[in-house]
Structure 1
Amino acid sequence: MVKRTWKFTLQMLILIVIYQIGNGISRFFHLPVPGNVIGIVLLFTLLWLGVIKLEQIELAAGWLLKHLGFFFIPISVGLMTLGRTMFAKGLSLLFILTVSAFVGLFFAGKITQAVIMKNEKEKVTSHDHAL
């Protein structure tokens, strides 16, 4: 139990450090992109390059994902204070969110179809070579 707690703490520390580096980059370069977005891109890059292995952050990341809905409560409460803005710009925001959701779903579907087709072609090719 103690070992698992230390492992979780270390993994959470890794994620916090990456998050803070993203914030620092955003502030230092005066970027219009939030630091947490830069941190996510940095984390993805480190995972992709193999600098950080999934096992090194899996426990903490799983816990954060499990409780993700809880982290949206402060944002939701904050939106309640923006009643006038939502009333004035609500339709524009709804349109933007709807279009971006459909664009995201469209491209995710097309990429998934392409991967499935590629896998099916590889199966057929490997099956033909086996004969």
Structure 2
Amino acid sequence: MKKVLIFSFQLATLIVIYQMGSLLVRFFHLQVPGNVIGILILLILLWTRVIKVEQIDLAATWLLKHLSFFFIPIAVGLMTLGPMFLNKGILILIVLIISAFIGLISAGKATQSIIMKKEKVKVNYHDHSV
């Protein structure tokens, strides 16, 4: 029962952050989806340690585990856009490839940066402990 309450609170926290992002988009008439602004808000809250990973870990892990389920409505919606894909399919494919490439490079650079920092800390720790 306690785990259900913790999960519910964490999920509610993530929903509130998402809603804040959507509200900001509507209020400022931004050309960015509300969920993107919500993710940025969450990132800032995590960086500033207003929210700790442990405070959203259970719900976030569950959502990530079931992420593919959330793409079903999008896939069904895309089926209605067949004519657009016939006319603009190559352009869409190019944009998708470029954005995937940018995402991969960004993720790789971020991972390398984190690994380098951890190795630097480890080396400094060993130097000072000798």
CA distance in 1, matches of 2:59, 2:72: 20
**Equivalent in the alignment of 2:86:** 87
CA distance in 1, matches of 2:2, 2:125: 45
1:55 aligns with 2:54: yes
CA distance in 1, matches of 2:116, 2:59: 35
CA distance in 1, matches of 2:55, 2:113: 31
Note closer, same or farther for the CA distance 1:23–1:125 as it changes in structure 2 (3 Å cut).
closer
- Aligned residue pair count: 130
TM-score by length of 2: 0.86
Q: Which has the higher Rg, Structure 1 or Structure 2? A: 1
1:109 aligns with 2:108: yes
Which deviates more, 121-130 or 48-57? 121-130
By how many angstroms is 1:55 displaced?
1.2
The answer for unaligned runs of 5 or more in structure 1 is none
Cα RMSD over matched residues?
2.0
By how many angstroms is 1:107 displaced?
3.7
1:8 aligns with 2:7: yes
